[in-house]
Structure 1
């Protein structure tokens, strides 16, 4: 077989593999649909394979904690009835499957892996939700590390019998979307996306000129029937792993108020990549793990 034909065949196989969630950096643009320009939002059908979805859920089970929100004034993580799910973070490059997904996210978004936070897996039971909010920040503390979140990739890990939609209540064209009785009541009041296992939603929280986009206001509708699992990658405008302007301060700090409790439970050893970090990435609980000078 001619070399050029062999190369073309290899590329076709790689693209097919990636389209089925194969863990490479390739992606299939034919599976992407633009659903909104205000905010800029795109839906990728079959971004993850079902096996990848199941793997992420399996990793997250047993690690789940009550979900938190960032306080608008202090920037600290606090509990709130605005967000009633449970969740956990999976360390970057924790295994080959996560590493492959992270590469695919970077390829799709054209944003570097180092600009992204660790993947957060979320679990919603019946009645649980996340009220309308922005993914960009209102406080100065969170903006220091990597700047605003410019984009969000929300990956759906399960189908949901009813409810659990992602809704943009003030998106342009929200009144043009046809909805029948299969949509939940909350989803009817905006432009909405149903969670389907393996699909991924990409939306941008900033305009192309890097100013915040209020139309990116979004919510996770309450689950009406069944349960919902999802995985989120938040991506910043600058490096989140190694921000040069805050590197010195970040070397001995905790990024989450739960760090002391997690350290007491032995997470510094069980989940060292997230808690302590690696030679390339700072951990989120270095102070509580005692690996730096306070």
Structure 2
């Protein structure tokens, strides 16, 4: 189904059910910009998960659509996600606009790694909570990426939707991003939207970095989660969603990113099939990820990995 048709049908579906449509307004901003209300919802997936509480959600911007959830993660969940990643970090890559391949670039100087979907009970609980908040199915999401920014490290303004056709083949464009802050940052490290229509109305003092003053900015606070949409509701790219991570001036920054596509991002394979499920697999394998991150790359007894071909683990 065409991406525009899918999203249009989704909006029409919500309009048929006033209670559900109202919830979508409150929680994720599909249809409007009203203040969040509602009861706390306890999710059953992930016993260690914090309850989903829509009253903690605040709309930050309508152009682009951006929302902050205060206390989305508990301190224990933040620390757990960091511990899963800290010994497996590699230099972050970016997607080449023409080929779609992952390349190194000075526009992104952090380090990071990908978890595996539902890697453990905590990860599964976080993924379920993201799906409940965004009203987008878990299967549409990529694996969570953990990122670490040290002093001076940054990610210059960029779009999360794709310019190349290669990355659009599996799951289509990224429609939404959930950025979870796993640590406090003493100074700097803000997420900035240079094109936001709210940039000139946001008050800023000396506690904001110079980078943050170039747009609408969000300070990284441990446990908070930022949701923003890269596409309009008709599935066309939203240029106002341009965003970046300001340089860390004091301290360090840990974050976790969940990119969500307009279609399913999962492609189940049989053990006999020798394929890569991500265009970045050859680059990751060359960087040593088959050994450093085997659960995601190679797989486990319960599930095949995403880069079995590049890791040369396929059966003959």
> TM class by shorter-chain length?
0.7 to 0.9
- Alignment length, in residue pairs? 271
Aligned to 1:259: 285
Aligned to 1:58: 83
Distance 1:261 1:179 in 2: 41
Aligned to 1:69: 94
Aligned to 1:166: 191
RMSD: 2.5
TM-score by length of 2: 0.80
How does 1:108-257 map onto structure 2 within 5 Å?
108-242=133-267, 252-253=275-276, 255-256=279-280, 257=283
1:47-102 CA-to-partner distances (Å, cap 9, x unmatched) read 00001000111111110000000000000000000000000111111110000000
Distance 2:287 2:66 in 1: 37
Distance 1:35 1:287 in 2: 43
How does 1:20-59 map onto structure 2 within 5 Å?
22-23=48-49, 26-59=51-84
Q: 1:143 to 1:167 in 2, by over 3 A?
A: same
CA positional deviation for 1:261: 4.3
Distance 1:70 1:282 in 2: 24
Matched, 1:287 2:309: yes
1:142-191 CA-to-partner distances (Å, cap 9, x unmatched) read 00010000000000000000000000001012100000110000001110
CA positional deviation for 1:278: 6.5
TM-score by length of 1: 0.85
Aligned to 2:15: none
Q: 1:261 to 1:178 in 2, by over 3 A?
A: closer
Distance 1:240 1:281 in 2: 16
